[in-house]
Amino acid sequence: MATRSALINVMEKAADKASRGLKRDFGELENLQVSRKGPADFVSAADLKAEKTIKEELAKARPGYGFLMEESGTQPDSDGSGRRWVVDPLDGTTNFLHGLPHFSISIALEERGEIIAGLVYDPIKNDLFHAERGIGAFHNGRRMRVSARSRLGDCVIGTGAPFLGHGDRPRFLGEVDAITEKTAGIRRWGSAALDLAYIAAGRFDGFWEWGLSRWDVAAGIILVREAGGYVSEVNGKPINPESPSILASNNNIHSDIMKLLRKPLSNQKAP
Ligand code: IPD
Ligand code: CA
Ligand code: CA
Ligand code: CA
């Protein structure tokens, strides 16, 4: 078992406190206030409460760091550290609102755009994933590694579908076809942060999605990297906070998946 650093303790404490509210609300969904941000994009009182709790805890422990949060936006750092917390207080809101027990809290720390620590917590399964740059990635305190699979036919690939009416949909459906033809299968479980954590833990072998935001993936990216995996855009370009797509894998299958994802695009151009 690894000892957790002071930084990870701060992140874990914030996640733990917010998770208590989420678990309470998950047990009383009929009383929860819900509104829509887009055609299939929901936000509930549980998301907002969790975000507030996490912000308060992190600001108390590290005053001066900035924030990028899904529900309340950005706040620049005030201490010149160039550091900011990147937070998704409830990743998998749709699952949560349907009583599906698969959602997470995602907290990352960036320094001048570089992710230096990340934590993803699934309060229902009590799965805590964390990583620090240069130190490694851990699942419930034990070091984790990406899978060693290299034959696509043995691999399970996570993904997420673009929301209703989203322009990436036709392309995505072609990609699903190409990936299902060559792999052991696709999973669409509804929490991108957990999809990435599952690659780091060797459960999934790869994952791709279009249209995610930095708060969905920042913690997951460092989990995958520190567990020995590789993260890029779908076309192989380096990932950055504005990237339109993400492809993460155990490294062994990265270029094979990239080739499959490129295929549907060229197919679409054919008469
Ligand atoms: C969503 C989840 C889902 C992904 C969506 C995200 P939210 O985040 O990560 O897996 O497919 O694109 O928006 O809205 O539940 O935090
Ligand atoms: Ca959302
Ligand atoms: Ca999210
Ligand atoms: Ca969210």
Residues with CB under 5 A from ligand 3 (ion): 88, 91, 216
- Spacing, Cα 270 to ligand 2 middle (Å): 36
Annotated binding-site positions: 70, 88, 90-91, 216
pLDDT at 249 over 70: yes
pLDDT at 270 over 70: no
pLDDT at 145 over 70: yes
- Spacing, Cα 93 to ligand 2 middle (Å): 6
pLDDT at 159 over 90: yes
Ligand 1, residues at Cβ distance < 6 Å? 88, 91-94, 160, 190-192, 209, 212, 216
pLDDT at 158 over 90: yes
Asked casually if ipTM beats, i.e. exceeds, 0.85, the reply is yes
Q: What is the overall mean pLDDT for the chain?
A: 94
Which pLDDT belongs to residue 125? 98
pLDDT at 46 over 70: yes
The closest of 108, 118, 125, 107 to 23, measured between CA atoms, is: 125
Which pLDDT belongs to residue 271? 40
Which pLDDT belongs to residue 269? 45
User: How many of the other CB atoms lie within 10 Å of CB of 53?
Assistant: 21
Nearest ligand atom owner, CA of 187: 1
Annotated binding-site positions for Mg(2+): 70, 88, 90-91, 216
The whole-model pTM stands at 0.95
Domains along the sequence of the chain with CATH: 6-143 (3.30.540.10), 152-269 (3.40.190.80)
